[in-house]
Homo-oligomer: A and B are copies of this chain.
Amino acid sequence: MIEPLVLKGFRDSLPKTEIPRRKIMRMLEDVFTSYGFVPIDTPALEYTNVLLGKGGGETDKQIFHFQDNGKREVAMRFDLTVPFARFLATNFSSLPIPFKRYHMSKVWRGENPQKGRYREFIQCDFDMVGADNALSDYEILSLMDASFKALSIEGYTFHVSHRGLFNTFLEHNGILDKSVDILRLVDKLRKIGEEEVTKQLIELTESEEKAKKIISYISRAEDENFLDCVNRLEALAGGECESSNRLREIYALLQAQGIEKHFILDPSITRGLDYYTGIVYETFLDELPSIGSVCSGGRYNNLTSLYSKECLQGVGSSIGLDRLLAALEELKHPLLKEVANADVIIYMKEGQEKKAVECASILRGEGIKTDIYLLPGKKMKAFYDYAAKCGTRFVVMFDDDCKESLKDLITRDTTAADINTIAKIIKEHNS
């Protein structure tokens, strides 16, 4: 016998997890498509040099790569962004531009598994390329808001910042050349605290004054509103500029739609990565900030230059589905609280198969998820154990004359009724 082991950092998804996961993915898909976003798919395997670009470094060690039977160097995708850039370059002429796509699929990283981090996970990315204006920045933020609303998540806040404005501020203070290191430090604020960040900023800029300016830029009074914050940052960056006006335009659109309350301008958000050029954002759940950002992204203006002469400006987001699922479970969100394999199970004695099949057909026709217990006449103890593992509340049974009744496994009530009445009862319960 072979031991049925799962690889380290990988895991099975059992129905208890997979049912809500698929439900959430479908709800997100419905929101994405309502905004005119379209699905694409790319191969799980690509040429290693296509995925790594000029590459090397940390990512190199983290990806699953190998030589295939045809001696090609191939690798499993580690995100959906790089394949999207390659996809755009490959298929440019057949795509409408601007192009809005979503992609929900698995990616693989060979990093050391930690709590909540796996070597295989699902990313839900949505991006639009081919436009750089307040309207497109707004559209992506609006879509994020609509997504969280659709999932009936209460209490979420989008922390928005602007990398262009931050760079203007750094330039105004003569420290733009250190921007990459400064960004990485600021990004650590939540983890290592203001004191430590200040200390390291002083070392980096060799100036207490400049370090303090950076700290004052990224610090925000809890009650500072969006536009006041724009004014303050703009002043620190040397006055009105394209980036600050962009933020005002975006905010005006958020206000026009009455969704501005979910957005705060939070200059401490920088997103570590180099490639952002405009707005950047992270999303926190008000009741569970400790779990970190559940949806992040920003504007990048150079996605495809590695593969193509076309320079496509884009803005996009990624929902960390597994992290979001973990959060919703902790928050006892209805989507994860009651997961049942079916609405009702039909139990029968031997010889009642035709009756069972007939009733199942009627219930399914009414949109009721109907499971047939496949072992006619099995002892009730075994059946109840099955029903409990299925998480299913209702059971249809038949007496010796094949008259049907409905048993509620929670109240333990049994109601004799014809199958159409039973359908009504279950549908009322579901609604």
Interface positions of A (Cβ within 8 A of B):
1-8, 10-15, 18-19, 22, 26, 29, 33-36, 38-47, 49-50, 53, 61, 64, 66-70, 72, 74, 76, 86-87, 89-91, 94-98, 100-101, 106, 108, 110, 120, 128, 130-131, 133-136, 138-139, 142, 146, 252-253, 256-257, 306-309, 341-342, 345, 353-354, 356-358, 361, 364, 367-376, 385-387, 389-390
Contacts and interface: CB of A to CB of B under 8 A. Distances in A.
A349 B101 CA distance: 24
A130 B256 CA distance: 58
A374 B130 contact: yes
Contact of A353 (B67, B96, B253, B368): B253
Main secondary structure of the interface of A (DSSP, over half): mixed
B38 A18 contact: yes
Contacts of A133: 374-376
A379 B45 CA distance: 40
A142 B357 contact: yes
Contacts of A106: 44
Nearest to A69: B110
A61 B43 CA distance: 21
Contacts of A387: 96
A375 B100 CA distance: 13
9 nearest A-B residue pairs (beta carbon): A36-B371, A66-B66, A96-B389, A131-B374, A13-B41, A4-B89, A15-B38, A10-B43, A36-B342
Given A6-B46, A108-B44, A87 B372 contact: no
Nearest to A51: B2
Given A4-B89, A5-B90, A135-B353, 9 more contacts: A1-B307, A7-B46, A7-B74, A12-B42, A34-B364, A130-B374, A130-B375, A138-B353, A257-B357
A97 B382 CA distance: 9
A94 B35 CA distance: 40
A122 to B, nearest CB: 9
Nearest to A364: B34
B371 A35 contact: yes
A104 to B, nearest CB: 10
A286 to B, nearest CB: 24
A341 B133 CA distance: 22
A69 B61 contact: yes
Contacts of A95: 14, 389
A322 to B, nearest CB: 12
B39 A22 contact: yes
A98 B374 contact: yes
Contacts of A306: 1-2
